[in-house]
Chain A
Amino acid sequence: MINFAQTFIDALSLGSLYALAALGIGLLFGILRLINFAYGDLITLGAYALIIPSTEAVATLFIGGWPWFMVIIAVAVIVVAAALLSDLLVFRHIRRADPATLMIASFAVSFVIQNVILMFYGSRPKSVDLWSNLNYQIAVGGLRIPLLQIVTILATLVLMGGLTLLLKRTALGIQMRAAAEDFRMARYLGVRGNLVIGLAFAISGVLAAVASLLLLSQTGTLSQTMGVPLMLFAFIATVVGGMGSLIGAATGGFAVAFASVFLQAYLPDDLRPFRDSFVFGIVILMLLFRPAGLVPTKALVERV
């Protein structure tokens, strides 16, 4: 029972991280039909922004040494700027291209960001001590819960709550939802397309920034491709949850995390290394048998 509860909490905190990232990807897909591969690199960028650019092996904290709320704001500003820049320079010019072309364009953006990081920071992984006191474990009953897991879950709840308020209660949020339902119709009704899209990029940037801080405090290591696995799982989470639906993206994040944590815990030893294959296999099965995802949206019948 203890074992099960421990696994459950692990899955919950991993699911929070996936859900955060999946929301960022789902938001853009809903409005733009863009599967943003560069999202993982925005996460990487957020983490690298904490240290002074240098190709030396030892990392020196820069923004990372500031008080925690300043760190969050500064990293968010940097990542949002990068996300908006990627829209301004690339995605804005191919708005009408089909999803596969957009996905390839995001591949190109991803490739550029990764190598810009390589150019300024060198290719060696660096260890960084960000908020390591969060790894302190709290004992509850027989459980040992790292503080970081609680922080991750709370941060996700706060951001999801904020996002829900923004989307339901503000005029801009309502415009965004309208754009996600039917972009062309929304524009006919006076929604400013580029404003809404810019806002979507900005929000996805904020989510990426928080995800990168949580990821870095968990792993403590910077590398050029650190954001890629998180992006991949978040991406499949949006597919599992239902592309284009935000509730779907969050649900998918938790579903994928629960699947992988429980597979890790209960698969036979021989098969455990192949856990990710099972998770990706589930994605293919979802596409085949429930293409609308766990939480289907009305507007997306022909989308995926």
Chain B
Amino acid sequence: MTDTAQSRFLRAALPVLALLLGVTVITALVALLGNDEMALTVTEALVRLIVVVGLSVFIGNSGVVSFGHIGFMCIAAYAAAWATCNPMWKQLMLTGLPVFLQQAQYPFWVAVAGGAVLAAVVALLFGAVILRLSGIAASIATFAFLAIVNNVYSNWDSVTAGVSSIIGIPTVVGPWTGLAFALGAIVLAFWFKNSRFGLMLRSTRDDPVAARASGVSIVRVRLAAFVLSAFIVGIGGALYVQFLGVATVDMFYLQLTFITLAMLIIGGMGSVTGAIVGVFAVTVFVEFFRFLEAGVPMGESVLALPEGSQEIALGIGMALILIFRPKGLTGSRELRLPGLGSSRRAMAPALPTTGATARS
């Protein structure tokens, strides 16, 4: 293979196309052959895929773990809920909303775009403040952000209906909408990873001193990733409420933070492939245990696991991954297609901070 620009592009693009195809085929199989319940499961998994890919844009490339991204999801979800829920209900319950939101009902596209942009703007403001912190300090600050979002949205009664739900949101998101956005998120994540900013950010992750010496502004490249990842996570949030039809603050707190981080870590924090594999593996795993909890007939009796075993299994599974495979199922590498030569360009080095790095 001659090393022309075209063939380089092809080598980088083929694994991405293979991943897109894989996600599409799985979705299509389940949506076309499965029952309604399975269609719901796959839609939820696709929404989570968007969120986890969004997480990986920041966490994977910067090496800084964020516990706050579900806060961005919450912000976008509520924005989408404000835009799309029934105006009669809004005027009755959400008296503090501005008139343009209260009186009208906006289409799906506007809600998704508005929610994601709002999340990105908040990320820009918050990130500009906290991203100069290093490592664990930044992680703690993102955690404080999550707690603040939860507290504000739980108590701002006239705008968010407090801890009760916003209802009457049209449920327009199905497997195909979810798929379209998930594919978009994956493409965006790969584009960023191999863009100038992505490369600079990964250099700050692997060797901050050398990166700074080469003229990379750590805060600026981190901020770019933070905003983009909040935007993608925001899309996930806006889709999520238009999939469920309701929005509640507690949907977007510790539990979802744990599950999405678990997906990212189980798959492999350092790669987009890892995010995809993680969502797939955890979803299959959880569904399997949910099936066992519902009860399996064994001859005369029904064998059923008690309530909670699904979560316990997930927690144990995650601990096992952290202990035995700290770089995740994919080893934090991107998908490699056989017969394409060594395309190091698309191959990220494994994330050093997740593994057994020596204590300094």
Pair A119/B65 contact, Cβ less than 8 Å: no
B-contact 0/1 string along A40-70, CB 8 Å cutoff:
0000000000000000000000000000000
Interface residue range, chain A: 35 or more
Whether B133 contacts A280 by the Cβ 8 Å rule is no
Which A residues are CB-close (under 8 A) to B137?
A: 287, 291, 304
CA distance A112 to B129 in the complex (A): 34
Interface SS, B side: helix
Q: Given the known A-B contacts A236-B144, A287-B137, are A90 and B326 also in contact in the complex, defined by CB atoms under 8 Å?
A: no
Q: Which residues of B contact A288 (CB under 8 A)?
A: 129-130, 132-133, 141
Which residues from B are CB-within-8-Å of A112? 311-312, 315-316, 319
Are A119 and B262 neighbours in the complex by a CB distance under 8 Å? no
User: For residue A111, which residues in chain B have a CB less than 8 angstroms away from its CB?
Assistant: 258, 311-312, 314-315, 318
> Known contacts A98-B357, A105-B319; is A118 also within 8 Å of B307 by CB?
yes
Q: How far is the CA of A28 from the CA of B306 in the complex (A)?
A: 33
Spot the interface stretch: A167-175, A213-221, A271-279.
A271-279
A288 CA / B128 CA spacing, docked (Å): 12
What's the interface size class on B, roughly? 35 or more
Whether A109 is near chain B, meaning CB under 8 Å from some CB there, is yes
Contact call B155/A273, Cβ cutoff below 8 A: yes
Binary interface profile of B, 150-163, with partner A (CB < 8 Å = 1, else 0)? 01100110000000
**Interface contact A96-B322, CB-CB below 8 Å:** no
Chain A residue at smallest Cβ distance from B64: A100
Contact of B323 among A90, A232, A273 (CB under 8 A): A90
Complex contact B151–A287 (CB within 8 A): no
User: Digit string of A110-131 for contact with B (CB within 8 Å is 1, else 0)?
Assistant: 0110111011000100000000
Closest to A232 in B: B147
Residues of A within 8 A of B319 (CB): 89-90, 105, 108-109, 112
Instruction: Tell me the number of A-to-B contacts counted with CB atoms below 8 Å.
Output: 144
- A101 touches B (CB below 8 Å): yes
Residues of A within 8 A of B318 (CB): 104-105, 108, 111
CB of B230, distance to nearest CB on chain A (Å): 17
B130–A284 touching, CB < 8 Å: yes
Q: How far is the CB of B128 from chain A (nearest CB, A)?
A: 12
B residues in contact with A302, CB < 8 Å = 360
Residue of B nearest to A283 (CB): B144
B315 surroundings in chain A (CB, below 8 A): 108-109, 111-112, 115
A94 within 8 A of B: yes
Give me the interface of A with B, judged by CB distance under 8 Å.
Answer: 33, 35, 89-90, 93-94, 96-101, 103-105, 107-109, 111-112, 114-116, 118-119, 123, 183-184, 228, 232, 236, 239, 273-274, 276-277, 280-281, 283-284, 287-288, 291, 302-304
The contact sample of 27 A-B pairs, CB cut-off 8 A, is A35-B136, A89-B319, A90-B323, A94-B326, A94-B356, A96-B358, A98-B354, A100-B65, A101-B65, A103-B136, A108-B318, A109-B315, A112-B311, A112-B312, A112-B315, A115-B308, A116-B308, A119-B307, A239-B140, A277-B148, A280-B144, A280-B147, A280-B148, A283-B141, A284-B129, A287-B137, A304-B140
